Structure 1
């Protein structure tokens, strides 16, 4: 304990000396943490490279339980789960010096040896000061948000006039680098988002937003899912072949979301460049990887759709029947039932424990719901 206290005091002395650079904690790890690299440059290594860098210490002055006393935070769970250094950032350099010296003296005198009975490190006036600063910051943030919202509404006036039902969306996102998922489809609000859309070279930003909205329910949904996530592979059977292009009767899509959850789906009648598929004939089934890209479709008014290009790792595979909508729905239903089953803790994932009649009825009802109005 004495060694830890001594090392803590050494670190505190440096913090006091550099209080004008803000508060600092004792560690950084995995690109985050409370250590202040302006005071301790070695913390920069942890923040940039994700490495653990820490200062040995007995107790941290910015632990919520230390700052506010018993009843706030939990000193036994460690700083990560009971940290109020964000509040300390409102304090002036002189206030930080005073608080750190007070903490240093209290720790040296043994005041914190009994961690079950801790009185507040902060004075009532310091607590009030922090609360006032928080309110002031919140008020300024609200004013800034209102001003930015008004500016976005002003800039999006033409789109709001055309799509009044999306006014709040424009007020929040117009001109921002955000992708919004609505019930009808995705809207990419990134001002530079249309730079990679083939055929959108003459688009304005408003054109880009407008075309995305007009493309709702008219895009290849599974290719769009791949575009915004991680495509893994594509499989299909060649239906037609021309001088420069081929058409797949159906392409089976396999991909993965960023959280590791996989998905699959299919798209009908997909045209691609013949390049890479020259040696294959009508009726051949192939698996391959390709880039998903967006392009402007003009056959029925301007719309943005998704397709595939730059195929690679092409392999001929055995002819097989790609899953139908119903088969894909049944697969999804099976996964949902397994993941949410009330017998999950007892199940070995090989033999289902639920009564066959109950399971069959549940599958039929859920498949019907998933299918909706789709053709079987």
Structure 2
């Protein structure tokens, strides 16, 4: 039996198994990973990322903003690591320190190379170009399951001087044709020349180039409310090999909802003909989470058209064509950016759970960063 036939058979068995179960997501556990308020060298933790390594460890990242809650200013990249699927966590370590830059680092996307085991983290420096230039796209990587990290590498010699902010969220490695094995990281461009852009690597992160783009209108001009301004984004690969990118609609073009773009050629292009507006996913212009697991598409955001509150999990049984009416309210109060992950393993626990990290507060959404374990099939 060849590899493709085996994969199709396994997918068929899995789909039959899932159909015999009833999705009923519920929170199984929650922990605060970081709390702001000028503790030590950090004022505020923001922009959470979450991924599993090839060895099954959970890695949680965040911007550790040194002096204020604002996007500009000096920062660390904070990391906590769990080897027991989020039950216990290592103390916080700082894997990148941008010093005292007036316009410090901007997280960022994490992508795991399933072939080499490398964990690659891509971020920006001087993205807003506030008292500094040029903007730089930077990369660090770990080859030992997140224990140690390389020195930062500047990708500008490969990518040029365009201002590019990855994610925030995770990048993908293509599992299905076309371009199997390719690393794809998507984000948005400079403040004026904005839009969604993807960078691609076909050699395990050694070299990178620009691929797909979905440019803002008007391009290279300051934006007004209701302009077309695709922004922060999360790519997901589907089993047909297409890449669906859930996009922040920053200036509320057409709706206060999410944009969804789609690449059919491995991240080389984002045809405008494939762009849709998902009115079910109401949104106040914020980074959101998306995840595909066992034929189900999951989505998290503050489910409100006007403010960052009501962090909600939704799921779709037809890969985003429609969404199940039931939802899981993770946090009714102030909430912001979110990211999801799951472990592609053979254990029952790996099938049952997804993991969410998000910004959570009582008065302001950026007061803390919380980790939630979601039981997809509760009461079963």
Query: What range is the shorter-chain TM-score in?
Result: under 0.3
Q: Name the TM-score, length of structure 2 as normaliser.
A: 0.20
Normalised by the length of structure 1, the TM-score is 0.20
Which has the larger share of strand?
2
Higher helix share goes to which structure?
Answer: 1
Greater relative contact order structure (CA < 8 Å, 6+ sep): 2
